[in-house]
Amino acid sequence: LIYVLIGFAALYIGFRVDYLKYRNWTGMILSACIILLLIVFAPVIGKSAGGASRWIDLGFFSFQPSEFAKLAVVIYLADVISKREKHMRNLFKGIVPILGVVCFICLLVLKQPDLGTILVIYGTALIMLYAGGASAIHILVIVGVSFFAFLFISFISPYRKRRLLAYINPWKDPLGIGFHIIQSLIAVGSGGLLGLGIGSSR
């Protein structure tokens, strides 16, 4: 119920505020995003669980700054792309400086670690760059380089490597890392798109 109320409050604010005014707050929003991503590593306020430091604990309420980072990056990109519109076809004048800021945010999130959020932020950035006028060739080259970078990041981390290998062959560890994938296959395989009905699942 608390989260629903917070969500409705955010919805109301978002509805009432002219989105063009966010441009005036871009620097402040991006700075706040970076500060919050650093605070998660603070001994008292930062909250760790399962080997990950992703939360800020205020006692009565905890949240993940990486969720705020998704919104902050979108606002930053919308502002900077509109300002650099005539440079967007130029790789080094237009795209690289913008991606540099995005990659810095992604590195802070990687430190937590949270590769899933990085994929969302980075993927959104590439889509916005393309929509903002970047060359399709430049975007494809960046996607290609990034793909190998993400593979490298995944394979140097034991738990990420296990997740990738489990996706390829979940039956290697059916009661461990592959359990959920196997259950998904059983669910779709036995019930199709509509399922077997309530209480009849396998």
Taking only the tens place, the pLDDT of each residue in 18-40 is: 888 888 889 899 999 888 888 88
Share above pLDDT 70 across residues of the chain, in percent, rounded to a whole number:
92
Taking only the tens place, the pLDDT of each residue in 64-86 is: 888 888 999 999 999 999 988 88
Which residues are within 8 A (CB) of 9 and not within 5 positions of it... i.e. 6 or more apart?
Answer: none
**φ, ψ dihedrals at 178, nearest 5°:** -90, 0
Taking only the tens place, the pLDDT of each residue in 164-175 is: 788 888 888 888
**What are the CB-based long-range contacts (under 8 Å, 24+) for 46-52?**
52/112, 52/113, 52/114
- pLDDT at residue 105 above 60? yes
For the entire predicted model, the pTM comes to 0.73
Taking only the tens place, the pLDDT of each residue in 84-95 is: 888 888 888 888
How far apart are the C-alpha atoms of 150 and 152, rounded to whole Å?
5
- pLDDT at residue 124 above 70? yes
